[in-house]
Amino acid sequence: MRLVKIYDTTLRDGTQAEYFSLTLADKIRIAEKLSQVGIHYIEGGWPGANPRDRDFFAEIRNYNLGDSRIAAFGSTHHKDRPPESDPVFQELLISKAPVVTIFGKSWDLHVKEVLRTSLARNLELITHSLRYLKPHVQELFYDAEHFFDGFQADPEYALQTLAAALEGGADCLVLCETNGGTITSKVTEIFQAVRERFPEASLGIHAHNDAEMAVANSMIAVELGADQVQGTINGFGERCGNANLCSIIPGIKLKLGLDCISDDNLRRLTELARFVYETANINPNRYQPYVGRSAFAHKGGVHAAAVKLNPRAYEHIQPELVGNFRNIPVSDLSGKSNIFLLAQALGLKPTEHEAAVRQAAEKIQEMLHGPHHLKDTDVLQLILGRVKDLEAQGYSFEEADGSLKLLMYATLGKGTDFFRLLSYRVVDQKVGDLDTPVPEATLRVRVGAHEVHTAALGNGPVDALYNALLKALIRFYPRLVEMRLDDYKVRVLPGTTGSTAAKVRVLIESRDAHDRWGAIGVSHDIIEASWQALVDSINYKLYKDEQSTREGAARK
């Protein structure tokens, strides 16, 4: 089977994105993760550009990256200096990287107006730079910068730059769609012209996403015979980003049927994508193809019903192939199939524990419509009815999966009462215009037979309340120390008069070492809405840990 090699430039091109910044330690961690997933080439940076990239190449030599190879990136040598006396160019050799990638000018506009030299001198720079590096590295790649724009301006000169690179000893000619504005049909035409001129050359593709075509342009290049694809994890990169390897890799494997990484490593793709988001402290794009939380979400009742019968009806691949999972959001657009599929995903069987289910269903029915004896309990319909009723009040369960699961557990008679609030009070004291407010929360809760009274300060009233609650519970539930609140969002709900008296919705995203989950609260009082979300966040952590312990004991 034909092998397409993956060249990752997250650590160099990716860091040119706005709000995407990595420390040296971050870059090392991501490089290790990339190697564990079987990425062939990991571009560590431009060693002549800044001290951090220089330090990376010195530090990464202490790590075993398996079959992955580190690449150093740079440009052709200075037009007015030979390569041996160009200090920035020499950094490529000082890095001791086994692979070096240099870029050169393909577009006559850049040669004349940016590099400010002659077309002939530019060809010399390309050949001399590569020829000088060739004896010192294991592999040598040439990035033909702005190649597609250059070809459209002057096809013959653009092709001459590639010939100069081959003359210098380039192992692969990487055609760069640097401005990201070339449509796929034109990329096809130009790639075919290059293949025709250089039938024996190894070709690669490096695409940017300014016209939302980077993945498509990369995929068509592979179909036309590209041996190497360059891109970044999650598509990070300057302006609108680079070609997204999290879409390209499964596209190569699952759509084109070609080899790039192993099946086992493909199943770690979602993990890799989220690891990079986490390391860069950026919220994941839930709508990202293949690896996003919504990539296999089925919100509409008709869709969920079809997926229940056959997932292929609305899924182009099995989510497990890329390490993702099917997500069945529940909202006012849902039908019973959404509830059924989510219950299955949670390992719940609505037909079990009929007495407990009936009792829980009676309680929900009474809460919604007053006392009523259920003769024929439809638990799924009751859960759906409860969800739709709550969403009419301002709740939204699409991001609050923890709260939704707790509601389902309770309805199915599988809920647990870990603690009960007796009272709370939050005081936010401010003295003088310049002083920062000092919030303090006092709290009384009951845990089993124990009544606990605590107080805590915090960075804001909600943080103080959370700290007081943790202080009360930690001795009973030590594993809460693993829990972190990752995100806190407040939204004023429409449809209420007077902004200060409006109803608010609070969404809290939490995590531990294994999972992320969302919780929700709605109230006219922002502290009360926050309390509801905090309680669900903690209860879900406790419930899932209890279930995990039970399952572990059962396996023994």
* CATH among 3.40.50, 3.30.70, 3.40.140, 3.30.160 for 419-476: 3.30.160
Per-residue pLDDT of the chain (556 residues; tens, 9 = 90+): 899 999 999 999 999 999 899 999 899 989 999 999 999 999 999 997 888 999 999 999 999 999 999 999 999 999 999 999 999 999 999 999 999 999 999 999 999 999 999 999 999 999 999 999 999 999 999 999 999 999 999 999 999 999 999 999 999 999 999 999 999 999 999 999 999 999 999 999 999 999 999 999 999 999 999 999 999 999 999 999 999 999 999 999 999 999 999 999 999 999 899 889 878 878 789 899 999 988 987 766 566 566 666 777 778 999 999 998 776 655 444 455 555 555 555 555 544 434 444 444 444 444 444 444 433 345 666 776 777 777 778 887 766 788 888 887 777 667 778 999 999 999 988 777 767 888 999 999 999 999 999 999 999 999 999 999 999 999 999 999 999 998 888 888 866 555 566 788 898 989 888 788 889 999 999 999 999 999 999 999 999 888 888 777 766 6
d(CA 443, CA 445) in angstroms, rounded, equals 7
Q: 277 by DSSP, 3-state: which?
A: helix
Q: Which residues contact 381 (CB under 8 A, 6 or more apart)?
A: 336
Give the whole-angstrom CA distance, residue 300 versus residue 337: 9
* Chain segment 261-313, per-residue pLDDT in tens: 999 999 999 989 988 987 887 878 989 999 998 898 776 656 656 666 677 77
CA–CA distance, 192 with 107 (Å, rounded to integer): 18
| One-letter identity of residue 135 | P
Q: How many CB atoms lie within 10 A of CB 349?
A: 10
Reduced to 3 states (helix: H, G, I; strand: E, B; else coil), residue 391 is helix
User: What is the homologous superfamily of the domain 5-261 according to CATH?
Assistant: Aldolase class I (3.20.20.70)
Q: Which tokens go with 38? A: 């079987």
The single-letter DSSP state of residue 312 is: G
pTM of the full structure: 0.69
Single-letter code of the amino acid located at 121: R
Let me know: does 480 contact 542? Beta carbons within 8 Å: yes
| Residue 206 main-chain phi, psi, to 5 deg | -135, 105
Checking DSSP bridges between strand 69-75 and strand 41-45, what pairing results, if any?
A: parallel
In sequence order, the 6+-apart residues with CB closer than 8 A to the CB of 158 are 106, 107, 144, 147, 150, 151
Element (H, E) at 402: helix 401-411
Phi-psi sector, 215: left (phi>0), alpha (psi -120 to 50), beta: alpha
Question: Looking at the chain, which residues constitute the CATH 3.20.20.70 domain(s)?
Answer: 5-261
CB atoms within 10 A of CB 185: 9
When the candidates are 2.60.120.620, 3.30.360.10, 3.30.70.100, 3.30.160.340, the CATH number that belongs to 350-415+483-556 is: 3.30.160.340
DSSP state at residue 3:
B
For the chain, residues classed under CATH 3.30.160.340 are 350-415+483-556
Q: How many CB atoms lie within 10 A of CB 369?
A: 10
Specify the DSSP element, H or E, that contains 145.
strand 139-145
* φ, ψ for residue 413, nearest 5 deg: 75, 25
Q: What is the DSSP string of 373-393?
A: --SS--HHHHHHHHHHHHHHT
Please tell me the distance from the alpha carbon of residue 322 to that of residue 111, in angstroms, as a whole number.
43
d(CA 439, CA 464): 6
The answer to whether the CB of 95 falls within 8 A of the CB of 57 is yes
